Amino acid sequence: MGTRTGHKLLGAILVERGACSVQDVERALAEQARGGGHVGEILQAMGRVDRQQVLTALGVQAGLELADIERTPPQPAVLKRLDAATCHLFRVVPLREEVGKLVVALADLLNVSIL
Protein backbone atom coordinates (compact mmCIF):
# COMPACT_ATOMS: atom_id res chain seq x y z
CA MET A 1 0.00 0.00 0.00
CA GLY A 2 1.48 3.30 -1.03
CA THR A 3 0.64 6.93 -1.20
CA ARG A 4 -1.44 8.94 -3.60
CA THR A 5 -0.79 12.60 -4.27
CA GLY A 6 1.49 12.89 -1.26
CA HIS A 7 -0.78 11.38 1.41
CA LYS A 8 -1.32 7.90 2.76
CA LEU A 9 -4.15 5.78 1.51
CA LEU A 10 -6.98 5.05 3.92
CA GLY A 11 -6.26 1.33 3.98
CA ALA A 12 -2.62 1.92 4.91
CA ILE A 13 -3.66 4.17 7.80
CA LEU A 14 -6.16 1.60 9.08
CA VAL A 15 -3.51 -1.13 8.94
CA GLU A 16 -0.91 1.06 10.69
CA ARG A 17 -3.42 1.82 13.46
CA GLY A 18 -4.16 -1.90 13.91
CA ALA A 19 -7.79 -1.55 12.85
CA CYS A 20 -7.55 -4.26 10.18
CA SER A 21 -5.06 -6.39 8.29
CA VAL A 22 -3.40 -5.93 4.91
CA GLN A 23 -5.48 -8.90 3.70
CA ASP A 24 -8.67 -7.14 4.78
CA VAL A 25 -7.71 -4.06 2.76
CA GLU A 26 -6.80 -6.19 -0.24
CA ARG A 27 -10.22 -7.89 -0.10
CA ALA A 28 -11.92 -4.49 0.20
CA LEU A 29 -9.96 -3.18 -2.79
CA ALA A 30 -10.99 -6.22 -4.84
CA GLU A 31 -14.62 -5.61 -3.87
CA GLN A 32 -14.24 -1.93 -4.78
CA ALA A 33 -12.86 -2.90 -8.21
CA ARG A 34 -15.90 -5.16 -8.78
CA GLY A 35 -18.68 -2.92 -7.53
CA GLY A 36 -17.29 0.51 -6.65
CA GLY A 37 -17.73 2.24 -3.34
CA HIS A 38 -15.43 3.63 -0.67
CA VAL A 39 -12.83 1.37 0.91
CA GLY A 40 -13.81 2.47 4.42
CA GLU A 41 -17.47 1.66 3.82
CA ILE A 42 -16.59 -1.70 2.30
CA LEU A 43 -14.40 -2.59 5.30
CA GLN A 44 -17.28 -1.61 7.60
CA ALA A 45 -19.72 -3.78 5.65
CA MET A 46 -17.22 -6.65 5.93
CA GLY A 47 -17.21 -6.13 9.70
CA ARG A 48 -13.46 -5.51 9.76
CA VAL A 49 -13.59 -1.91 11.07
CA ASP A 50 -16.17 0.32 12.71
CA ARG A 51 -17.33 3.79 11.74
CA GLN A 52 -15.19 5.50 14.38
CA GLN A 53 -12.04 3.81 13.09
CA VAL A 54 -12.80 4.96 9.54
CA LEU A 55 -13.56 8.53 10.67
CA THR A 56 -10.35 8.69 12.67
CA ALA A 57 -8.34 7.37 9.72
CA LEU A 58 -9.99 9.86 7.35
CA GLY A 59 -9.05 12.65 9.74
CA VAL A 60 -5.45 11.45 9.84
CA GLN A 61 -5.43 11.24 6.06
CA ALA A 62 -6.73 14.80 5.71
CA GLY A 63 -4.44 16.15 8.42
CA LEU A 64 -7.41 16.99 10.65
CA GLU A 65 -7.89 16.36 14.34
CA LEU A 66 -10.89 14.37 15.49
CA ALA A 67 -13.26 16.48 17.59
CA ASP A 68 -15.49 14.96 20.24
CA ILE A 69 -17.88 17.80 21.06
CA GLU A 70 -19.42 15.81 23.90
CA ARG A 71 -16.07 15.62 25.70
CA THR A 72 -14.81 19.04 24.64
CA PRO A 73 -17.81 21.27 23.96
CA PRO A 74 -17.53 24.40 21.81
CA GLN A 75 -16.44 27.60 23.48
CA PRO A 76 -19.63 29.62 24.11
CA ALA A 77 -18.21 32.82 22.59
CA VAL A 78 -17.46 31.19 19.22
CA LEU A 79 -20.93 29.71 18.85
CA LYS A 80 -22.13 33.20 17.99
CA ARG A 81 -19.64 33.51 15.11
CA LEU A 82 -21.76 31.37 12.75
CA ASP A 83 -25.53 31.46 12.54
CA ALA A 84 -27.55 28.25 12.77
CA ALA A 85 -28.53 28.30 9.08
CA THR A 86 -24.88 28.41 7.98
CA CYS A 87 -23.94 25.65 10.41
CA HIS A 88 -26.79 23.51 9.12
CA LEU A 89 -26.05 24.20 5.45
CA PHE A 90 -22.35 23.33 5.72
CA ARG A 91 -22.79 20.78 8.54
CA VAL A 92 -20.23 22.46 10.79
CA VAL A 93 -20.04 23.46 14.45
CA PRO A 94 -17.74 26.29 15.58
CA LEU A 95 -15.43 24.94 18.30
CA ARG A 96 -12.87 27.52 19.28
CA GLU A 97 -10.68 30.33 18.05
CA GLU A 98 -6.95 29.81 17.53
CA VAL A 99 -4.65 32.65 16.53
CA GLY A 100 -7.56 34.66 15.17
CA LYS A 101 -8.97 31.75 13.12
CA LEU A 102 -12.23 29.97 13.76
CA VAL A 103 -11.82 26.21 14.24
CA VAL A 104 -14.90 24.21 13.21
CA ALA A 105 -15.92 20.58 13.43
CA LEU A 106 -17.14 18.99 10.20
CA ALA A 107 -19.97 16.48 10.26
CA ASP A 108 -18.62 14.94 7.06
CA LEU A 109 -14.86 14.59 6.67
CA LEU A 110 -15.34 13.98 2.97
CA ASN A 111 -16.62 17.57 2.72
CA VAL A 112 -13.30 19.17 3.73
CA SER A 113 -13.40 21.26 0.53
CA ILE A 114 -15.83 23.70 2.21
CA LEU A 115 -13.00 24.95 4.38
Q: Judge if pTM exceeds 0.85.
A: no
Residues 68-77 as b or e (16 or more Cβ within 10 Å = b): eeeeeebeee
Q: What residues pair up with 104 in beta bridges, in sequence order? A: 94
Instruction: Please give the pLDDT value at position 1.
Output: 52
Going residue by residue through the chain, which has 115 residues, state the pLDDT in tens, using 9 for 90 and above: 544 445 799 999 999 999 999 999 999 999 999 999 999 999 999 999 999 899 889 888 888 887 888 998 999 999 999 999 999 999 999 999 999 999 999 887 767 777 7
- Identify whether the C-beta of residue 34 lies closer than 8 Å to the C-beta of residue 54: no
For the chain, what are the domain ranges? 3-62, 76-114
